[in-house]
Chain A
């Protein structure tokens, strides 16, 4: 055995790096110790030479560290030699744990570890080896209980799931380093189980190694919740579980622990409802954006509410998450709480109602929210403010919403255009406790915008204030000028300005942002005397410095150029103040104009460099004022260094005493010349860049690139509510309806139809003329009238003779018979009207007995598209109506989805049946779907403004209402039918009598649900429509 024993210590091993190092360490031991090592080595070598060699490498260190416990340590290793298979991998891994780590964990842990390895190796040598390798490197670095839990989970996989479990356990162990780093002992069991579930569903191969790194640092409860949700989802739907497992941590990465915990709680509650899972997964990527848009101070409370909703109505919670930013824009926290409570009460009815409510898709939801809101949105008051600005300035005003809230508004885009420029106002104001106060602030801002127009701000070319810092100063100086002019011209605005200034100067003065500081400065300058005490010290200091410069701008004669000049001077003074502090020479051009007072602390190096550049530019400008602004200040060669608002604030804040002295004229003259000489194109206002805006008015933002919509003339757009019978409520602004111009033909269809119905048309005209009022009729029995009524006069005489009191009603008058009827024909232009229909052999044309005529050249057996028959009927009816004089309009409708409902104006009430209308009648063609509700509501809107005594709305269709998103269930028509029925009822409520005509033989089935039997007619024979329609009209209009 000795010979064998020494074989493991061969030359090859000892010449290897590890062997040589071990030998060197052994040489430091006593011979007795070395003999012991050799003895143990020999014993190990009998079963595994590699194990013996591993032992030899570790032994010298261990002998020194462990002393008497050395033999115990070797004995543990020896027990592993046989357990790990012929390769001795377990023992090798055991001996690879360095002396320091082994000493740190202690023999007890080493023994436990060895038992664990033996246990697993007893089931699978391969897994045992994997576990040994994976754990050997972390032992002593990671807490033993954690390692043990991790290993136990692997063992459990093998024990519970057999060979499949072995494969999984292998993958599980391979991801060991990542798992031990990111997870805790309590997590391993569910993490391993997640792999099992996903593996069974065909996933899971990469699952363990793909453990998202974002879970690092999460709390125990958070990780547990995350894995619990993943597992719960995966058990129902492997794909959903995997998606959540992989996507959730990244989506939550940016949140603080408090928010994360709440979000996970909400996710867990939502995930409990299988129907809500798709929405949950869709909502996870939006978490950052949605929560980030909620005011920071209210996020936790908002998420508490979300959790509450998620527990009560899981499917609605994701909807709520999406609209939370909008909800918080409209209402403060208390309002949102009230909104949620009401929603939970309403949503208790059913999930669909809750979803619509919390998605702000029901009128009730909006109403409750609006009731809770004190903030004012531009969307709601834009109409009033736009008119207010238009009246004050005398130019049309288009308001757009901008982000942020400032007193100095951005310069108007396109100012001075005849159609008016684009005025940016905050999208919402919610900084005061009541709606009235928030509106008051809006009014002051709108007045400032109007004042700029009225008092000539835009006479100054934009190039002159292209520099952002100069622009900010100009906003300050011109803002002061405009506000003073406004207060003078509109005395009623003065209290509003004072109120806004007093309320905001304190809050904004404390704001760290540079832009707010300038706003606060302007507000402080606008404060009435005696109210200065409300100004924060840092603003007051700067205001005291700037006020003398602003004072002359309060004169009614001050112009925008004066404001520019003062802004320029302030600009130079700012440079001068800096120089004074830094001890540099003063700017020669402004010395006479300005006295810079006490010294201030030195400026930063960056600011000094900036100041030097600006001074050079100012000096050059003063000596050569003819240079253009672009060359000097903003040009490519000028190399200007724009000052930021913060820098400006710091300079102003430093409190230099600035005063315009007697030399002002000299100093200002150069600037005035310079300012007047400005020329060139209007520069883009950098302040405007990056501004998020939203058009208040509708009719913009039509998505492009849809081939079926390309190349069309689109008119204004409208939004209409839609009735959802499931909710028992309207979905507000649900349909976007666009008026689309119809491309007409050359009038050929109209002419051909008239020719084809040559016999019918005159007959109809005669019929219609019979129903036309005679114009005037004689009415008897007036006490005063045009003529004496002889019969009455004779009767009166007889009465007198009989000594009775005669009737005084002795006159007659011609009274006009008023026929005041308006009718709108709404024609279904859905794709189904393209269907061809076959009719019976047509009768011979043009006989009085049978008024129906067959167009010339058409075959005896008729085959036509439904739409063509509808068109013919409209042509015939239109011609007949011209005779009767009733006001009428014709509109087609179709569309595709709720965002693309289309109405095609064929003839408006104001138009005559001229060539354009005739052409459009010929241009009616089948389009797409049939969303009747929105089209009917639009038609009603067209009619409500009419003064006619009787209004009728005729709906001509060939089938039931249908659209791909007309209700959630495409197979059911109920949603569309109920919405149409509601739209018809709305028409009646608006004083318009609707009447439905369909050529669909199955029309009874749904029309009876939509309206009363007397309010619809099913035309069995399509081809009879041109003949029947005028008669229907006569009957409907005549009987009502």
Chain B
């Protein structure tokens, strides 16, 4: 169940801050653009802080990708009809609370507002989860850790996180890694030579210059890794970057053409 340790390359002091928050059992909010490593960071922390103890949860982490139809029942649990019986089934949040695992609510602002308030009692000194359908109040396991994330970049004002929610979390900001570290990550994840990884990281850096000047989001480290993986599979570098990067980050013809010119400048086919 423990599995192997996820790869994570620290960029700043995020490991120390998270560890301190965990020691105090403070919930953590990770803020940063898409594909910059938030999820991997949580996986890594869950693995590292879970220690040798096994709580039956793979990787000591339950991840919920939030969406606008996510209901309270989806998080907490529901009654299911099984044969002649009605059976209560814990939701992912309840499972984590009971087992003392990490619960990671990814892109929390996408969830419905009535769903988000469910986590409030878990995030203060009470650390409880009321399950109203069962009339039960569940106290969180001492090792339970709640982590949420959101990307302030492209969220509209309508989807901003309410203060009553965000002021319950310790916040760690994430951004894309500097070129050398990003190259190291790409090289490790895609298993490509360092010089190719550096070129890809440079491409990422160049494309991110357009953020705010047409691009809502810069190209993610994840996409750079995808490009590297395609190249490793034998796809020509320009084609790989076009497929994994320029076509993925925008539909705007002009932006795409400009990005493809930069790809052409950086890579020889």
Contact = CB atoms under 8 A, between A and B. Distances in A.
Contacts of B268: 491-492, 494-495
A394 B262 CA distance: 12
A322 interface: no
A391 B262 contact: yes
A491 B72 contact: no
A34 B213 CA distance: 107
Contacts of A493: 265
Q: Say which size band chain A's interface belongs to.
A: 35 or more
Contact of A391 (B74, B238, B258): B258
Interface string A791-803: 0010010000000
Contacts of B73: 785-787
Interface in A355-405: 383-388, 390-396
Interface in B126-182: 133, 157
B262 A392 contact: yes
Interface in B229-269: 238, 254-255, 257-259, 261-268
Given A443-B261, A810-B81, A387 B210 contact: yes
A209 interface: no
Nearest to B206: A391
B71 interface: yes
Nearest to A383: B254
Interface in A532-583: none
Nearest to B261: A388
Interface in A795-828: 796, 810, 813-816
A390 B265 contact: no
Nearest to A494: B268
B264 to A, nearest CB: 5
A788 interface: yes
Interface in B52-90: 68-69, 71-74, 78-81, 86
B257 A390 contact: no
Given A390-B209, A788-B81, 9 more contacts: A391-B206, A391-B259, A392-B262, A490-B266, A491-B268, A492-B265, A494-B268, A788-B79, A816-B112
A793 B84 CA distance: 10
Given A491-B266, A492-B265, A786-B78, A391 B207 contact: yes
Contacts of B264: 492
Given A492-B266, A787-B78, A396 B213 contact: yes
A384 B86 contact: no
B72 to A, nearest CB: 7
A788 B206 CA distance: 53
A813 B72 CA distance: 11
B214 interface: yes
A447 interface: yes
Contacts of A813: 71
Q: Say which size band chain B's interface belongs to.
A: 35 or more
Nearest to B78: A786
A786 B74 CA distance: 7
Residue of A386, A490, A787 with highest tally of chain B CB at under 10 A: A490
A443 B206 CA distance: 16
A391 B262 CA distance: 8
Nearest to B238: A492
Contacts of B71: 786, 813-814
Given A491-B267, A786-B73, A816-B68, A388 B262 contact: yes
Interface in A722-744: none
Contacts of A396: 213
A454 B210 CA distance: 16
Nearest to A910: B157
Contacts of A391: 206-207, 209-210, 258-259, 262
A793 B85 CA distance: 11
Closest 4 CB pairs of A and B: A387-B258, A786-B73, A490-B265, A391-B206
27 contacts: A383-B258, A385-B258, A387-B214, A387-B258, A388-B261, A391-B206, A391-B207, A391-B258, A391-B259, A392-B262, A392-B265, A395-B209, A443-B261, A447-B265, A491-B268, A492-B238, A492-B263, A494-B268, A496-B265, A785-B73, A786-B71, A786-B72, A786-B74, A787-B79, A788-B80, A788-B86, A810-B81
Contacts of B214: 387
Contacts of B238: 492
Nearest to A389: B258
A54 B261 CA distance: 93
B254 A387 contact: yes
B267 A390 contact: no
A394 to B, nearest CB: 5
A384 B261 contact: yes
B215 to A, nearest CB: 9
A383 B257 CA distance: 10
A489 B79 CA distance: 61
A384 B258 CA distance: 5
A72 B255 CA distance: 97
A496 B269 CA distance: 13
A1030 B213 CA distance: 39
A384 B202 CA distance: 19
Nearest to A789: B81
Contacts of B74: 786
A386 B210 CA distance: 10
A816 B264 CA distance: 46
B202 to A, nearest CB: 8
Contact of B254 (A384, A788, A815, A816): A384
Nearest to A394: B209
Contacts of B202: 489
A928 to B, nearest CB: 35
Contact of A390 (B68, B81, B213, B254): B213
Contacts of B210: 387, 390-391
Contacts of A384: 254, 257-258, 261
A778 B189 CA distance: 46
A392 B265 CA distance: 10
A495 B266 CA distance: 12
Contacts of B257: 384
A814 B115 CA distance: 12
Contacts of A816: 68-69, 112
A491 B266 CA distance: 6
A796 B73 CA distance: 22
B41 to A, nearest CB: 27
Nearest to B263: A492
Nearest to A491: B268
Contacts of B157: 910
A705 B53 CA distance: 80
A361 to B, nearest CB: 26
A392 B206 contact: yes
B32 to A, nearest CB: 20
A7 B72 CA distance: 142
Interface in A754-790: 785-788
Interface string B191-206: 0000000000010001
Contacts of A796: 81
B92 to A, nearest CB: 15
A493 B263 CA distance: 10
A445 to B, nearest CB: 13
Nearest to B212: A396
Residue of B81, B112, B210 with highest tally of chain A CB at under 10 A: B81
Residue of B209, B214, B238 with highest tally of chain A CB at under 10 A: B209
Contacts of A810: 81
Contacts of A387: 210, 213-214, 254-255, 258-259
Interface string A428-452: 0000000000000001000100000
Contacts of A787: 73, 78-79, 133
A388 B257 CA distance: 9
Residue of A787, A793, A815 with highest tally of chain B CB at under 10 A: A787
Nearest to B258: A387
A793 B73 CA distance: 18
Nearest to B199: A491
B248 to A, nearest CB: 16
A391 B203 CA distance: 9
A492 B267 contact: yes
